[in-house]
Amino acid sequence: MIFEGRTISPGKAKGEVIKIDEPLSFLGGVNGSTGDINVKGGNVAGKILVFPKGKGSTVGSFVMYDLKVHGKQPAAVINESAEVIVATGAVISSIPMVDQIPSIRLFEDGDIVTVDADNGTIDIEGISFKEIVSSVVSTGGRCILLKRPESNRSYPGHWSLVAGKIEEGESPEEAARREIMEETSIEVGEPIGNMDPLYVREGKTLFKVYPFHFDSKGKEPILNEENEAFTWASIDDISSMKTVTDTDKVMRYFLR
């Protein structure tokens, strides 16, 4: 699956991903002589190093160059947002680097990725990509959560918002309204809110999720065969529930 970003330092590389979820300071965060990652464990040498952005002292640029001198540099660097320290370190060390990817959530440790920093693209091998909608259907500060059966292929036994795949030719909003009707028999009007898309990985599947908020108009759901139960839940209720990734984030955004 190919994604476009922005070239920071040219070059091409292929390798295994090692991902750090927080901003990284090379000074103190990575051993310039060995490549060991102090903040996580593992080693950057020959890896596709993925993290959101850099931070810390400008000496971090020279730590990256020290990695190069010792033959322990990453094969490439991928950021959501490049800052000067890491960008400079990548350039002076001739490490291919790309930023402005949609999210580091595209990646998991162990993914095999080809970075073409000459053209600003990344190719993640062996994953499938699906665009889906996920809707808060609410009344009085609570929204419908649906219980997925244990036999479900995706997030079995989890509670989710009203969600489903965008069909060919549909807009995300059209898909959201259709899924709500199919899964709850509730006909909704125009959305009362939406969020920027979220990216979620479940194993080898990458989901691009379009969140919406609709008013249930006080109607009770009537479920189809896709889900085995429903409940009306508040933000406080879900702390003890097994929910699909980002359910709490989306609920907090719309029901805050």
Catalytic residues: 57
Phi, psi of 201 (to 5 degrees): -105, 135
Q: For residues 148 and 207, what is the distance between their CA atoms, to the nearest angstrom? A: 17
Residue 226 makes CB contacts below 8 A (sequence gap 6+) with 146, 182, 183
By CB neighbour count within 10 A (0-12 exposed, 13-18 middle, 19+ buried), where does 66 fall?
buried
Query: Do 206 and 199 meet the contact criterion of CB atoms below 8 Å apart?
Result: yes
Helix (H, G, I), strand (E, B) or coil at 47: coil
Distance CA 126, CA 49 (A): 18
SS3 of 62, please? helix
Sheet holding 121-124, edge to edge: 2-4, 121-124, 112-116, 12-19, 48-50, 76-78, 97-99, 6-9
